[in-house]
Every structure is written in structure tokens, then in C-alpha cells.
Copies of this chain bind each other. A is one copy, B any other.
């Protein structure tokens, strides 16, 4: 992964640190649930329970876990309303929205190549288990 050094002299230790950080972030972000959450949120503000139904198939636990991770990385903002019953809103931050655009591109890619991929799978199956 290419991480440009922007500040001062590109000290080698700094480069290595930035790279391992990049890898870490990439691992956080490049996972199914995180991307689906980001995509579901979009420009909207959703509560926990809304996200729960929006991102279908996700469990209570995975949702909280991923939301924490996204909050930690500054991609979503978590707003707690001290009401009863409690209400917690989630919104993408600017960096989160920027990431979302790349996820959108990935979704477009999926839609555009759906047919080709399905076909490839059939040919692969024929090729391997005739």
C-alpha cells in the first residue's frame, strides 16, 4: 500500500509507522459489515434500531461492535439523547462520507458486473467438476 509522507523529511521509521497504520485502517474498513453500514447510513441520520433493520442480516452484537470501530476511527458520529427510552443517532462524518463515495463505486461495480460474474461461476463449475 502506498502512503505518501507529507510532513518534513521522510524519515524511514515514520514511513513504516504510517504504512502499518494504513494496513490497520484498511483491515478495519475492508470488511463486509463496516462497508454495508456506511453504505446504509449514506447522507441520513439513523438510530441504532433503524440501522439494525436497514443493514439486513446483521446481529445486534456485530452492529455495536462495528459502530464502535467506525466511531473510533472518526467515520461516524454517535449522538446520545438522554431521554427515556434512550435514543442514539448515528451519522457519517465528512471522512466517512468520503469513504462512502468509494463504497458507492464498489456497489456500482458489483451491479455492473453481476451478469459477467454469474456466467464466470458457471464456467468455473463446469471446468472444475465436469
Contacts and interface: CB of A to CB of B under 8 A. Distances in A.
Contacts of A30: 30-32, 35, 106
A124 B72 contact: yes
Copies of this chain present in the complex amount to 2
Contact of A105 (B6, B102, B117): B102
A71 interface: yes
Chain A binding surface, main DSSP class: helix
Interface stretch (A18-26, A45-53, A83-91): A18-26
Contacts of A39: 1
A61 interface: no
Interface residues of A, number: 44
A98 interface: yes
B99 A109 contact: yes
A107 interface: yes
Given A6-B115, A74-B117, A95-B116, 16 more contacts: A3-B111, A3-B114, A21-B118, A25-B117, A26-B32, A26-B106, A30-B31, A30-B106, A72-B120, A73-B117, A74-B116, A95-B117, A102-B102, A102-B106, A105-B105, A106-B106
